Structure 1
Amino acid sequence: MGSGAKRRFLTVLAAANLAAGIANAACVPDVVEVRGDWGKARFTVDIADDPQERARGLMHVPEMAQSRGMLFLYDAPHHATFWMKNTLIPLDMIFIGEDGVVTHVHENAIPHDETVIDGGEGVVAVLEINGGLSSRFGIEPGDALRHPGIDQNLAAWPCE
């Protein structure tokens, strides 16, 4: 194989590997995608999947990049409630059912507010992002979230 053909082969191989990596990136633990009629949004997330991590959440975090968030994962559907005690930044809370479908969005939760935010029944995950982003994107009930923490047998938007 000549050097030009070899270079083209390596370029095609690199492009294929990059494309495969991008396709699989949607289903890694630290990435969440949300889609709706408005398009798609992608967030790099920290996972809170045990009682201590969920209790701490984003407390005491002074700022968060627009592309970041926290994903709370639960073992079974339950009635989810949150509050903002010791939370320094406004947050949007996106409540997710067992099929990965958004069931409720609470926008711009107020820092330090101890008022209970009720996400409703049947919640298996909650995505917290910077306050105002859900409105900016158009995220609303009925949109779908893709993440490996959602039961792939039930997922409206499964990992590929």
Structure 2
Amino acid sequence: MLIFSLLPVSLPAATPLELLAVERADGETVHYRVEIADDAASRRAGLMHRHDLPVGNGMLFDYHEPRPVQMWMKNTHIPLDMLFIDAEGYIVHIVEHTRPLSREIIDSTQPVRAVLEVNAGSSDRHGLRVGDRVCHRIFNNTGRHDAR
């Protein structure tokens, strides 16, 4: 005999997705739908304990001010590419194909404002490189297409 409860079930609040564009050096643009991790708790949780990330989605970690960043893959089941982004929105370092569940430290190599995590292989598949520009409201550069 199955018994169903009519009591409300508490589910975690859905994080709204925001659009983000990466302008490649060749003028092409790649779009992602991203969750924003902009406080200590959301940055600490990141993509941990998830088993999939829809194609074209990602997570943008906003540190508000440039600083050295170290990340790891503890409790993260999804292989990722990590794009480290300076305060102006330029990609300054990329780490591809991170190892799920690893405690190995992944270092920004220099102070960064943000980190974009996307599915492993995405940066290569879309031709993303150091020097490409990430356009999003946190960089105050949406709608601007000036060259570096």
More helix by share: 1
After TM superposition, is the score higher than 0.5? yes
| TM superposition score normalised by structure 1 | 0.76
| 1:95 pairs with 2:73 | no
Runs of 4+ in 1 over 4 A off after TM superposition: none
Percent identity reads 38
Q: Which has the larger radius of gyration?
A: 1
Structure (1 or 2) with the greater strand fraction: 1
1:52, 1:88 → 2: CA distance? Answer: 19
Give the aligned CA root-mean-square deviation in angstroms.
Answer: 1.1
Q: Is residue 125 of structure 1 aligned with residue 108 of structure 2? A: no
Aligned pair 1:31/2:14, yes or no?
Answer: no
TM-score scaled by length of structure 2: 0.82
Q: Secondary structure at the match of 2:137?
A: coil
Mapping of residues 47-66 of structure 1, within 5 Å: 47-66=36-55
**Structure 1 unaligned regions, length at least 5:** 1-28, 153-157
CA-to-aligned-CA distance 1:115-154 (integer Å, 9 cap, x gap): 000112220011000001001111111000000011x2xx
Where 2:41 maps in the other structure, the secondary structure is helix
**C-alpha distance in 2, partners of 1:144/1:75?**
17
Letter aligned with residue 105 of structure 1: I
Q: Partners of 1:80 and 1:66 in 2: how far apart?
A: 25
Cα offsets for 1:15-45 (capped at 9, x unmatched)? xxxxxxxxxxxxxx71111011352111111
